[in-house]
Amino acid sequence: MDLLWPVSIFLLTVVPLLVGAYILVLRRRRRFAVRFSSLSLIRAAAPQQSRLRRHLPFILFALALVSLIFALARPVTIISVPTNQTTIILSLDVSGSMRFNDIAPSRLAAAEDAAISFIQQQGAQTQIGLVAFSGFGELVQPPTTDQEALTAAIESLTTGRATAIGSGILKAIDAIAQIDPNVVPSTVDGSDTAEPAPPPKGAYVPDIIVLLTDGVSNAGPLPVDAAQQAVNRGIRVYTIGFGTEAGPTNFSQFGQGQGGRQNGGGNQGGNGFGGNQQQGGPGGYGGRRGIDEATLKQVADMTGGAYYAASSAGELNDVFRNLPTYLITKHEVTEISFIFAAIGAALAAGAIVLSLLWHPMG
């Protein structure tokens, strides 16, 4: 449960003040009652449940006040609703290090094969889009159910320089925004467009991003900053770190700027990918297995996704096969203020009725 107006909870401080005032009134009445010499006779004559009758109406009234304050804070709950309007954006790293052949025939070729297999396993209603990123991100194929078009787009990928993981996330957000009116396009620093407020915790749109990389971000916006924009839009990001423990050996036989397949090459730096070589080796290579796993895990945790590691073509196929795409649901935010308001009204009514029955006026 989340609260749309959490500031209202500070009104709960009124309750202990009210209890203190009630105790103070009781003490004053007790001092006044001591003046009577026959106090012991009065206590003996009082029924056994007099203490319960004396305090229960006030207790009910205090609980009613608490419930009404929670109603004022506008509590909401998240309801998962199955949906067939799912969009998956594959955001693939095509930096220079993806040409290493520690995973035969190359990392890019293995990633392409796994992505194509993943596409073929999806239902006919699932829309899939393709984003590629090296020094910047580019939408290669807008979301579509045409698996042949997606396969052709993947086979046409070529490599570039540097690794801009954050750009890969932002381009994927924009691809989702094009077809989902509930998703706001990404913003850049200095833009006049304000970021949307994050949805209640646990509320997600039925669209996800699957990001695969083998390196460290060394260009574009910070991955964590881009992930925060995904959080603000309720988009889950599933990250995949792809590379071997031993690290790269040498480039694949397909030359620089070429695709991962013999028939998938193109001009150097195809698809517009390029830019200056930056730190961390070809495409931003460095760290354990050349992957910034800490950042990828943080991105996944922030957005409600998950991080996967793959060090072979077989493991990568298993990762794609086990992605929770079959569990994707639409999360609807339902306000439940009326429940707390009804409980508060019932408790207040009970307090009034009992007070009139047990302590009649006059």
pLDDT digits (tens, 9 = 90+) for 296-329: 999 999 999 999 999 889 999 999 988 877 555 5
Query: What's the pTM?
Result: 0.65
Q: Are residues 28 and 162 in the same domain?
A: no
The whole-number pLDDT of residue 248 equals: 60
Could you tell me the end-to-end alpha-carbon distance of the chain, in angstroms, rounded to an integer? 46
Range of 82-86, 228-232, 286-290 with top mean pLDDT: 228-232
Q: Are residues 129 and 254 in the same domain?
A: yes
Q: Residue 26 contacts by C-beta under 8 Å, 6 or more apart in sequence?
A: none
Range of the domain at 260: 84-327
Residue pLDDT, tens place only, 221-267: 999 999 999 999 999 999 999 988 766 655 554 444 445 554 433 33
106-130 mean pLDDT: 90
CA distance linking residue 230 with residue 235, whole number of Å: 5
Q: Of 61, 49, 48, 52, whose CA–CA distance to 22 is shortest? A: 61
CA distance linking residue 22 with residue 58, whole number of Å: 8
CA distance linking residue 75 with residue 1, whole number of Å: 7
CA distance linking residue 89 with residue 176, whole number of Å: 8
Q: Are residues 53 and 196 in the same domain?
A: no
CA distance linking residue 275 with residue 51, whole number of Å: 81
190-194 mean pLDDT: 68
User: What's the chain's average pLDDT?
Assistant: 78
**Residue that wins the pLDDT comparison between 7 and 45:** 7
- What is the number of domains present in the chain? 2
**Residue that wins the pLDDT comparison between 319 and 73:** 319
**Residue that wins the pLDDT comparison between 213 and 123:** 213
The whole-number pLDDT of residue 15 equals: 80
Locus of tokens 């609703």: 81
Q: Are residues 245 and 212 in the same domain?
A: yes
Q: Are residues 112 and 33 in the same domain?
A: no
